A and B are shown apart, each in its own frame.
Chain A
Amino acid sequence: MGLPLMMERSSNNNNNNVVELSRVAVSDTHGEDSPYFAGWKAYDENPYDESHNPSGVIQMGLAENQVSFDLLETYLEKKNPEGSMWGTKGAPGFRENALFQDYHGLKTFRQAMASFMEQIRGGKARFDPDRIVLTAGATAANELLTFILADPNDALLVPTPYYPGFDRDLRWRTGVKIVPIHCDSSNHFQITPEALESAYQTARDANIRVRGVLITNPSNPLGATVQKKVLEDLLDFCVRKNIHLVSDEIYSGSVFHASEFTSVAEIVENIDDVSVKERVHIVYSLSKDLGLPGFRVGTIYSYNDNVVRTARRMSSFTLVSSQTQHMLASMLSDEEFTEKYIRINRERLRRRYETIVEGLKKAGIECLKGNAGLFCWMNLGFLLEKKTKDGELQLWDVILKELKLNISPGSSCHCSEVGWFRVCFANMSENTLEIALKRIHEFMDRRRRKEKMIN
């Protein structure tokens, strides 16, 4: 339904609907047209090598110290004889890896990321490694995109409830505002066209320019995928308002059943109109799906050439360590391993989810029907004495202090309904999860007994 409408509209659009970037993005303060960078490029294209390329360009424009490499190399090799600091599959030259700080990122690593992202989507979308920009984590990726797509005092529309970190990542340094798209339990917190329009209007009424919509798919904290129809409507909306669409898909590998996940990449895959594609950007990271948050590997995938170019330059503030790229490149491009990993990981998450939801149900607690992520969205509204944010926080405090369980209250996620809580289940052993459930059961039992006594 959405798709044919979009295509019809887009054919009328010509070039009038070219979506814009921020002032920071189009300024030339990045200085890349200066001789400083031009010289680097010339060297990169034709690097001098004493034996292999004696007539190449000698690099004396980069203040890097190579005179004492060998000392470090020998020392580290003695400590790590299997070359394990690089990964087992063929340790690369220490020198080339140590010096590598090209913001394009290691080609093999980008190819590996692209192939991993394709596998997660069951091959329903293709990813071009040259459109992948690497950042030190998804946090950085989200901030970078915000810098590029919006100016200070502009807004991004974000559906509630959302990840509490967005208040920080999207706003701290960028000066950009978040205007919430209110969602509620009446339709399982899915985004409706009315809610979108209402949020847009709210911004307009406050004289704030909306530059884009940012969704998380699968959603954090809901633990549920966004329906295909909703994605189509979203893209439609963004085309009509001539704004960007950012889809944070860091939990895409954590969907319990692969068929239930539709990435915005699949929607865009079948669209030829560049003015439509150019407004779509995807954020991904290895922190959640691979359980490697400490590695700090994030990416921006954009269908917009200008965004890719600018994001690459800006990523110089937040590059992924060359060692990390190298370590992971071979693992991620091993398709046999990644297929197995994705499959087993999904299965384990699903089982864990079922355990916790069942356990909560036995205690009389309902959760939103979820199908992805590392958490469930639990409804404790019926336990609130006061159906207010304060009441919710009071309950949160009791759960923390009495039950010794740390869960996240919906108000931290800007949920418009009180009483919802996010409960994570993937970072502990089964035993610990059982203990947590036991504590909840005991708490609920105590409450029931108390109520009986009062009544």
Chain B
Amino acid sequence: MTRTGIYRSRSGTPDSKTSAGNDGGGGGGGTTVMRVIVPLQGVVQGRGGLVLGSVIPCAFFYFLQFYLKRNRRDEPVSESDPANQNSGSSPDNSGSSSPTQSELTGLSRSLSRVIISPRSSGAHVSVSGRANSILKGGDSPYHLGLKRVEEDPYDELGNPDGIIELGLAQNKLSSALVSDQNLIGLSLSGIASYEPSDGLMELKMVVAKLMSEATKNAVCFDPSQLVLTSGAASAIEILSFCLADSGNAFLVPTPCSPGFDVDVKWRNGVEIIHVPCRSSDNFNISVTALDRTFSQAKKRGVRIRGIIISNPSNPMGRLLSRENLYALLDFAREKNIHIISNEIFACSIHGDEEAEFVSIAEIADTEENLDKERVHIVYDLSKDLSFPGLRAGAIYSFNENVLAASRKLTTLSPVSSPSQHLLMSAISKPEFLQTYVKTNRQRLQRIYSEFVKGLKGLGIECTRSNGGLFCWADMRGLISSYSEKGEIELWNKFLDIGKFNVTPGSCCHCIEPGWFRFCFSNLSEKDVLVVMNRIRKVCVTCKSQN
């Protein structure tokens, strides 16, 4: 056929090759290449010629179809979505766009949900390959034995026929010496031993209650879907590891939390692709922008595994509405990716009464299983309880695979036992909890208003913030040049002249220079005045320079 034709016409030098070909094997030439080509020639020209000449290309064709089909399954509907096409022109360019332009885009997509994107795309969102190998890795007898003892533990009086544990290298011979030191009010035996690395169930129950309280009980969090870790950083790192393989990426709307870079990327080899939000849109997340960034990444051959958002957002302190969350979930469903919602400031809502914290769990709860599986929440006890030293973060997920893999990984970052007990004692009383949440809210509200008022008095505006411990201030009028350099110069002035530390927008990957994050939650009302005076001092130097 064609192939033999090509080979024939290629065998420029004559006889040695042809004769070698007729031999059917073993090249006349000395090189390995010849040894391969010549027998191929022989096969194609000679005995198998017709058959192989047709079989090989057919096989290749079918293989290609199979491969394409498999990959097509990952992104079912996106291109044919008319809502998508309508909003093809970037809302960023429309100068007169109202602040809710992008939200409208989001809204139209959510309205069209029922019609266009099917409720369930039929595709399971997958966890990372490396999470799968953790799950698949069966337990060795070493671990199996430990499990068996847990099911049937020997007890001298209560269960004399039980299994005696001789497989756990734990030293209880001298515990009395330690407890005699009167370390703690509790008996050591309650807290010294090995415990499940993902946290005590009693603590998980109170954490679940606290999280539910934050949503005013719109969501009833299930403690068995919680995994406790030594801090939110570890929770984010573990989720990032379980949802993405090395070389994959997450979409992150910016400005975002400064900590994501380390937590998501450092040890996981996972990338973050920023999706800039702009002041002209009030820094709202635009699904169109997400979509565009997704397609660009795809073209470059980068596989996006999920979106990471913060709610309330960091650094703006904005609460996401139900519509926002639905639109994001829609997008995630279309692209068959995950959503990680960083809700560590859920109890730090300080806006007025209308300000409502809606957890993405509430949205996920109303969806079918396939959508639930793509939703994961990060929580941090320390933020809301003012106790970061204790190191207690949490992963909440609806995805059994993610939960199973995360649980195993908590051996690498578990919560200390006495701290778990301290936390339980702190948050187990519902009355205290409710009082705490309410009082905290009021105090944050007071400081926030004082702070924002003070800034306004200096001619500095902030974006409207309803939650979190910070405000997002527009200092573009103070920077010497509209660039990151200008921003850092101002930041240095704040530190050297003003003697206060704030976070420049570039650390939050804000695409517009001149924005700064001010955390006010560790200030007293008196401190606010001191801060304003210092800011004024810096403003004066800026104005005199400009």
Contacts of B218 in A (CB 8 A): none
Interface flag for A424 (CB, 8 Å): yes
Q: Are A84 and B501 in contact (CB under 8 A)?
A: no
A46–B500 Cα gap in the complex (Å)?
A: 10
Q: Tell whether A101 pairs with B185 under 8 Å between CB atoms, given A63-B519, A291-B192.
A: no
> How far is A271 from B154 in the complex, measured between Cα atoms in Å?
50
A61 contacts across to B, CB distance below 8 A: 501-503, 517, 519
Using A100-B389, A319-B230 as known contacts, say yes or no to A173 and B422 having CB atoms under 8 A apart: no
A147→B241 CA distance, assembly (Å) = 14
Are B522 and A85 closer than 8 Å at their CB atoms?
Answer: no
Q: Which residues of B contact A175 (CB under 8 A)?
A: 246
Write the nearest CB–CB distance from A60 to chain B, whole angstroms: 5
| A72-80, A231-239, A259-267 - interface stretch | A72-80
Known: A58-B501, A98-B388. Is A67-B440 also a contact (CB below 8 A)?
Answer: yes
Which of B164, B165, B266, B519 has a CB less than 8 Å from the CB of A64? B519
> Counting CB contacts under 8 A, is A404 at the interface?
yes
Task: Pick the residue among B174, B385, B390, B501 that contacts A39 (CB under 8 A).
Answer: B501
Q: Quick one: given A60-B500, A67-B443, are A317 and B413 in contact (CB under 8 Å)? A: yes
Contact A64 B388 (CB under 8 A): yes
Tell whether B411 is near chain A: CB-to-CB under 8 Å. Answer: yes
CA of A318 to CA of B391 in the docked complex: distance in angstroms? Answer: 8
In the complex the two chains form, is A66's CB within 8 Å of B230's CB? no
Residues of the B chain whose Cβ atoms lie less than 8 Å from the Cβ of A320: 391, 416
Most central of B233, B507, B534 by chain A CB within 10 Å = B507
Decide if A406 is an interface residue (CB 8 Å cutoff).
Answer: yes
Asked whether any CB of chain B lies closer than 8 Å to the CB of A412, the reply is yes
With CB as the reference atom, state the residue of chain A lying closest to B387.
A98
Q: Are A76 and B425 in contact (CB under 8 A)?
A: yes
Asked if B507 and A34 sit within 8 Å, CB to CB, the answer is: yes
Kindly list chain A residues whose C-beta atoms are within 8 Å of the C-beta of B140: 164, 167, 412
| In the complex, chain B residues whose CB is within 8 Å of the CB of A382 | none
- CB nearest neighbor in A for B405: A172
Interface size class of B (residues with CB under 8 A): 35 or more
Contact A322 B171 (CB under 8 A): no
Q: How far is the CB of B457 from chain A (nearest CB, A)?
A: 17
Give A442 to B520 CA distance when docked, in angstroms: 71
A64 touches B171 (CB 8 A): no
Chain A interface residue number, banded: 35 or more
Say yes or no: B522 contacts A64, CB within 8 Å.
yes
Of the candidates B143, B156, B269, B519, the one whose C-beta lies within 8 Å of that of A431 is B156
Q: What residues of B have a CB within 8 angstroms of the CB of A172 in the complex?
A: 134, 408-409, 412
B385–A147 CB distance below 8 A? no
- Cβ–Cβ < 8 Å partners of B345 in chain A: 63
The reply on A295 being an interface residue by CB < 8 A is: yes
B177 with A62: CB separation less than 8 A: no
Determine if B183 and A393 form an interchain contact, defined as CB atoms under 8 angstroms apart: no
B164 touches A60 (CB 8 A): no
From A40, A137, A405, A426, B170 is in contact (CB under 8 Å) with: A426
* Inter-chain contact A321/B521, CB cutoff 8 Å: no
Contacts of A323 in B (CB 8 A): 389-390, 416, 418-419, 422
Residues A24 and B267 in contact, CB atoms below 8 Å apart: yes
Check A69–B164 contact: CB distance below 8 A: no
Question: B415 contacts which of A58, A63, A88, A296 (Cβ < 8 Å)?
Answer: A296
CB–CB B504/A35 < 8 A? yes
A30 neighbours in B (Cβ, 8 Å): 262, 266
Q: List CB contacts (< 8 Å) of B416-474 with chain A.
A: 416-419, 422, 425-426, 432, 435-436, 439-440, 443-444, 447, 468-470
A190 at interface by CB-CB < 8 Å: no
**Residues in B neighbouring A39, C-beta threshold 8 A:** 491, 495, 501-503
Asked whether any CB of chain B lies closer than 8 Å to the CB of A345, the reply is: yes
**CA gap between A29 and B264 in the complex, in Å:** 10
A344 lies within 8 A of B177 (CB): yes
Q: Which residues of A contact B391 (CB under 8 A)?
A: 101, 136, 319-322
A294 within 8 Å of B (CB atoms):
yes
Q: Are A43 and B166 in contact (CB under 8 A)?
A: no
Contact B412 A139, beta carbon cutoff 8 Å = yes
Complex Cα distance A21/B101, Å?
A: 50
Interface hits, A23-66 → B, CB 8 Å: 24, 27, 29-31, 34-36, 39-40, 42-43, 46, 48, 50, 54-66
Interface stretch of the complex, out of B62-70, B82-90, B327-335, B525-533: B525-533
Tell yes or no: A388 within 8 A of B by CB: no
Would A65 and B171 count as touching, CB distance under 8 A? no
Q: Does B168 contact A (CB under 8 A)?
A: yes
Interface check A168, CB cutoff 8 A? yes
In the bound complex, do residue A173 and residue B409 qualify as a contact, i.e. CB atoms below 8 Å apart?
Answer: yes
A65 touches B522 (CB 8 A): yes
Rounded to whole angstroms, the CA-CA distance of A42 and B495 in the bound complex is 8
Query: How far does the Cβ of B257 sit from chain A's closest Cβ, in whole Å?
Result: 8
- In contact, B389 and A147 (Cβ under 8 angstroms): no
For window 282-309 of A, CB contacts with B under 8 Å fall at 287-297
Q: Are A296 and B416 in contact (CB-based, < 8 A)?
A: yes
Contact residues in A for B418 (Cβ distance below 8 Å): 85, 294-295, 321, 323-324, 327
Bitwise interface map of A from 82 to 124 toward B, beta carbon under 8 Å scored 1, else 0: 1011011000000001111100000000000000000000000
The answer to whether B181 and A406 have CB atoms under 8 Å apart is no
Q: Give the contacting residue for B171; candidates A36, A43, A297, A426; CB below 8 A.
A: A426
- The 8 Å CB contact of A327, one of B184, B261, B266, is B184
- Interface membership of B399, Cβ < 8 A: no
Q: Tell me, rounded to whole Å, the shortest Cβ–Cβ distance linking A161 to chain B.
A: 11
**Chain B proximity of A366: nearest CB distance (Å):** 17
Q: Quick one: which of A65, A85, A168, A413 has the most chain B CB within 10 A?
A: A65
A291-B174, A293-B194, A322-B390 in contact; A404/B163 too (CB < 8 A)?
yes
Given the contacts A136-B230, A319-B391, A406-B149, A72 and B426 also touching, CB distance less than 8 Å: yes
Which one of B164, B169, B184, B188 lies within 8 Å of A436 (CB-CB)? B164
**Candidates A65, A375, A406; contact of B145 at CB < 8 Å:** A406
B60 on the interface (CB 8 Å rule)? Answer: no
Q: Name the distance in Å between A171's Cβ and chain B's nearest Cβ.
A: 10
* A 411-435 contacts with B by CB, 8 A: 411-413, 422-429, 431-432, 435
- Ordered by A's residue number, 29 sampled pairs between the chains whose C-beta atoms are within 8 Å are A30-B262, A31-B262, A34-B258, A35-B504, A36-B258, A46-B499, A58-B523, A59-B519, A59-B522, A65-B440, A65-B444, A66-B386, A67-B443, A67-B447, A71-B436, A80-B185, A99-B388, A101-B231, A101-B382, A143-B412, A220-B169, A290-B171, A292-B188, A314-B266, A323-B422, A349-B171, A406-B164, A412-B142, A435-B154
Please give 20 more A-B residue pairs, beta carbons under 8 A apart, in addition to A36-B507, A297-B416, A428-B164.
A36-B258, A58-B500, A60-B531, A63-B314, A64-B522, A65-B521, A68-B439, A71-B436, A79-B425, A82-B185, A88-B182, A164-B142, A288-B170, A292-B188, A293-B192, A294-B191, A317-B237, A318-B234, A406-B164, A424-B165
